[in-house]
Amino acid sequence: MSEIYGPPLLPPIPDDLTIPQFFLDSHHTTRPVRKHGTPWFIEDKTGRSFGFEEARWQFIRARTFGMANSLRLRFGIKEDDVVLIYSPNHIDYPVAIWATHRLGAIVSGANPMYTVEELLYQIETTKASIIITHPMSLDNALSAAKAAGVPQDRVLTFEDSPSKSLITVEQLILEGLAQEASFVERKLNPGEARTKVAFLNFSSGTTGKPKAVLISHYGPITNVIQTAVHMNVNQNYCAWEDQRFRPGDVGAGNIYGLVISIHFMIYSGMALVIIPRFSFVDFLKSVVSHKITHLMLVPPQIVLLCKHPAVKDFDLSHVRVLLSGAAPLSAELMNQLVKLFPKAQIGQGYGLTESSTSIAMLPPDQKIGVPGSVGRLLPGVVARIVKPDGSLAGFNEPGELTVKMSCMALGYFNNEKATRETFVDGWLRTGDEVIINDKGDVFIVDRLKEILKVRGFQVAPAELEGCLLDHPDVADTCVVSVPHDYSGEVPLAYVVLHADAAKRAEADPAEANRIKASIAKHVADNKVAYKRLEGGVEFTDIIPKNPSGKMLRRVLRDRAHKMRATKTKTTAKL
């Protein structure tokens, strides 16, 4: 097998429009007509909605203009300046993005869980001119801004802060709407959207500091059209009740899902419910109260859906589609989810920040995705599976996935070495070990940098995590490597216990040891000998994750190594 192609046919894609010009000002043949009365965004807590039919200050296009106008008038934001957004989900988050783009400036989204030091690194790397934050994140934002030399009056908030001393986004919007336009939005030259930077989004690498990825305006526009074609959006391909994405449907997803949540669902004529922070029981209440039909989830949320006792108290029968992304979803979890939602369409998607973003997704001819598969390649994607020796793998053979697609990122900002290593001769090295079967289904084995080598055998943490989640006492888990004199390295499982098991373990150390032994035995009974948890089982209160749901495996790996080093020193003293 040399190369694998997604469906080749794509309609024309404009390369002279910015993201807001495409999504707010133009139409495309793949875009359905929005159902009358369907808002674009709904604020979960208040029910406030933004669309195209409300009063002027609630008109999404007008709000975008108002904010852009104020950013120019108050702060002089201009072409290629960077506006950094450091906030949890908020209904005006997309407005802030599109307003920045109206001025030809660049958006850099920061993880709202970043520490002051991590945020400072991003501010200094991007040379951000403005920081937009939320009262929840304000203290860190102000500290990092001060350290970076960003004046306090250039720190804005999405809502009133306790001191009410900072300018809010709402104030900016109303001010901008009350004044004449202070800027002329530039029309791009043909082909310019392919190279004009829209986002500096940071890639969560497994080692070292995150790298700033240069994403053009053309990238997300292309990926939305690819996804629409892949999903048969605006096509009468089957009965209405079975069509996956329909105008008038209601979705929920993370605002950091740049393509799928903010842009694709809106493009498909759906409403997006903006839930600021994820609390599982409150999330279930929101799904019911807003009659949410489409859930764009990450594996940790699916673990809760399958394991949390509160789920039985809610009627979720109106949910039609569940798609998982950001990290591999095990076959075991997929099977549990199908039992929970027997009528829903369920599957996975896969992509990277560097691919802007989706590469593969559940195809419309599969109601339930092949267990363990992230779907099939999107139209226009070309893939190669490269073995460690550089040769190309065949069907059902593992290797590193490399892809070529027109929406790929432009490289890494001010990091030529990393760009050369990842973007090679027009191909993107994903760093993921995958298998593609002869039907085109893509299976992610794991991150190549995270795969363990146990006595020369490869062991994928994601595979063991799927097995562990089948244990009745395990609520969440993360597998990391620890050094081993004989095997080189062996797997250690960090485990979050269900509440009842946690109480038993806390009350009786012998019971805690019995639970650990039971978990280790469960893996030993279901996996080959070299995949056993020779590193042991450790209980933890939480598995650290970033906002997109990816496990911060390196945090627990560092903790495990420190724990082992401490034990070694203690033993040496004895």
Residues 6+ apart with CB under 8 A from 340: 305, 306, 311
Distance CA 253, CA 251 (A): 7
Q: What phi and psi values does residue 339 have, to the nearest 5 degrees?
A: -65, -35
pLDDT at 468: 94
Which residue shows structure tokens 């009262």? 135
pLDDT at 208: 54
- Write down the pTM of the prediction: 0.82
- The pLDDT tens digits of the residues spanning 26-41 come to 999 999 999 888 999 9
Spell out the SS3 assignment of 436-473: ECCCCCEEEEEECCCCEEECCEEECHHHHHHHHCCCCC
Alpha carbons within 13 angstroms on the beta-carbon side of residue 447 total 17
Distance CA 89, CA 318 (A): 24
pLDDT at 207: 44
Q: Where are the domains of the chain?
A: 4-12+213-447, 55-187, 452-573
pLDDT at 205: 47
Could you give the angle at which helices 461-468 and 331-340 cross, rounded to 10 degrees? 40
- The pLDDT tens digits of the residues spanning 52-86 come to 655 444 588 999 999 999 999 999 999 999 999 99
Strand partners, 273: 42, 252
Q: Where are the beta strands (DSSP E) in 325-473?
A: 345-352, 357-361, 373-377, 382-386, 399-404, 411-412, 423-424, 427-436, 442-447, 452-454, 457-459
Distance CA 543, CA 413 (A): 30
The answer on pLDDT for 223 being more than 60 is yes
Distance CA 510, CA 513 (A): 5
- The pLDDT tens digits of the residues spanning 239-291 come to 999 999 999 999 987 655 778 888 999 999 999 999 887 788 999 999 999 99
Provide mean pLDDT across the span 175-197: 96
Q: How many residues does the chain have?
A: 574
Which H or E run includes 419?
A: helix 416-422
pLDDT bin (cut points 50, 70, 90) of residue 45 is confident
The answer on pLDDT for 206 being more than 50 is no
Mean pLDDT score across all residues of the chain: 89
pLDDT bin (cut points 50, 70, 90) of residue 311 is very high
Distance CA 187, CA 28 (A): 18
The answer on pLDDT for 323 being more than 90 is yes
pLDDT at 280: 87
Distance CA 457, CA 353 (A): 30
Strand partners, 412: 213
Strand partners, 131: 84, 155
pLDDT bin (cut points 50, 70, 90) of residue 114 is confident
pLDDT at 568: 55
CATH code at 452-573: 3.30.300.30
Amino acid at the residue 46: T
Provide mean pLDDT across the span 456-469: 82
| 563 touches 519 (CB < 8 A) | no
pLDDT at 572: 46
Name which CATH class applies to 55-187.
Answer: alpha beta
DSSP assignment of 140-174: HHHHHHHHHT--GGGEEESS--TT--SPBHHHHHH
Tokens of 43: 């604020």
The answer on pLDDT for 571 being more than 70 is no
Residues 6+ apart with CB under 8 A from 118: 111
CATH code at 4-12+213-447: 3.40.50.12780
pLDDT at 194: 97
- The pLDDT tens digits of the residues spanning 116-140 come to 988 999 999 999 999 999 998 999 9
- The pLDDT tens digits of the residues spanning 531-561 come to 999 999 999 999 988 766 678 888 898 898 8
Q: Give 484: exposed, middle or buried? Use CB within 10 Å, 0-12, 13-18, 19+.
A: middle
pLDDT at 204: 57
Q: Which of 102, 41, 42 is nearest to 67 (CA)?
A: 102
Which H or E run includes 201?
A: strand 197-203
State the alpha helices, DSSP H only, in 53-128: 60-75, 93-102, 116-126
Q: Is 452-573 the same fold as 55-187?
A: no
The answer on pLDDT for 20 being more than 60 is yes
